Amino acid sequence: MIKKDDILDIGITGMTHEGIGVGRIDGMVVFVQGALDGERARIKIIKVTKTYAVARIEELTEKSPLRQEPFCPVYKRCGGCSLQHMRYEKTLDFKHQVVIDNLQRIGGLTELKVEPTLGMDKPSGYRNKAQYPVGMGKSGLEAGFFARRSHEIVNTKSCDIQHPVSDTAKAAVLEYMKAYKVSAYDEVTHYGLIRHVVTKVGIQTGEVMVIIVSASPSIPKRDKLVEILKGRVPGLQSVILNINDQPGNVVLGKRNITLYGKDSIEDRLGGLIFEISPLSFYQINPVQTEILYQKAITYAGLTGAETVFDLYCGIGTIALFAAGKAKKVIGVEVIPEAVEAARRNAERNGITNAEFYAGEAETVVPQLYEQGVKADVVFVDPPRKGCDEALLRTLVAMAPRRIVYVSCNPSTLARDLKYLTGEGFEVKEVQPVDMFPWTVHVESVVLITRVKD
């Protein structure tokens, strides 16, 4: 009988989708954080339930050749890049298997071939957006990332997956706060001002936006904040004060005040120029985004005669990529600010065959369909929760020739593919792309075609 604090030997025979090693002792499943399949270890049991146990590694007695030393000094506490103990090629294989497992277990797609995960040549410094919570720690004012499964801030001077200018901007804001005694927001008492520092970087243009998230629009010495940021942050084009006075985990509020420069910045992607505003979504890894979108456009098989829907379109990235190869593109996005940005992006790039609607896809698309507007090809790029069933029902009724599904969550992807394959569609190809190196997250682009009558 396994008990808490037992020291035991175990062989790791598999891994969960969160990258946790799995083995069995006396028939009970044991989860071991940081263990790789094929390894053996002496472990300490830290939790026991009726059906499983959780343990930590005391000593690795047999190491996998695919293990490496994590490159981040706060790797174990932070938990953001939880696969750093794997060699990069191992992480790609791991993510490939995660997609396969979900498609088979949830989607019932047991015969489907999944292509190998497309990785990066240099999987570092790839993030063009950073979000640093700010708070008071044991050593005073600090900013970094939340520890795994908590809101304890892990103070970090630098992060290897962020663009280096983001760390510079964070340090500049802390310098301002210390110099002028500006308080950090306390999540428990709800007192204090500064909650987060958010950065957005145009990787191709070099333009930088710094967003200071405050619980109040009244912060002291705004001019000094701007002065410090201008002196420290190369490429600074925009300083935004974002007001978030609501309790909870949502980082950004809805109100923005421009303290310096422009209301938005720009970046280039695939030969197009895109406007990036404080609240709009823009893929965080532009190198892999181009690879992802090129695959999506290839899957669409556009000839120039199609009407195309781009659902959950954000600032119109996929829509504008497709516009040059289609007759007409219609984008739908729930965030009005992003829709306005998409329209400006179309105008800035001289694209006249794209139009954008603000609203939930599951509401707007059925309305368009009732008005007789149908798509030959549909792109869907939903959030982690996947597509609403009302939207899927409309797509089934509309019967587009092709659906190209871009997913950031293999489990909801599998669920939605199960629905579509039960309603007259078939999955032709699945391509995982490593948009988030060293994390457990994986993006996939999937080609779905209508079964011919």
The set of catalytic residues is 408
Tell me the CB-side half-sphere exposure of residue 155, using CA atoms within 13 A: 10
Give the contacts of 92 (CB within 8 A, at least 6 positions apart): 116, 117, 119, 434
| Total Cβ atoms within 10 A of residue 311 | 26
3 burial (CB, 10 Å; 0-12 / 13-18 / 19+) is exposed
How far apart CA 217 and CA 21 sit, in angstroms, is 47
Distance set, CA 413 to CA 102, 119, 340, 394 (Å): 8, 20, 28, 17
Distance set, CA 136 to CA 43, 144, 298 (Å): 34, 11, 49
Q: Is 330 helix (H, G, I), strand (E, B) or coil?
A: strand
Query: For residue 19, which amino acid is it?
Result: G
How far apart CA 330 and CA 380 sit, in angstroms, is 12
How far apart CA 317 and CA 327 sit, in angstroms, is 17
Is the separation of the CB atoms in 385 and 412 below 8 Å?
yes
Is the separation of the CB atoms in 313 and 356 below 8 Å?
yes
| Total Cβ atoms within 10 A of residue 97 | 17
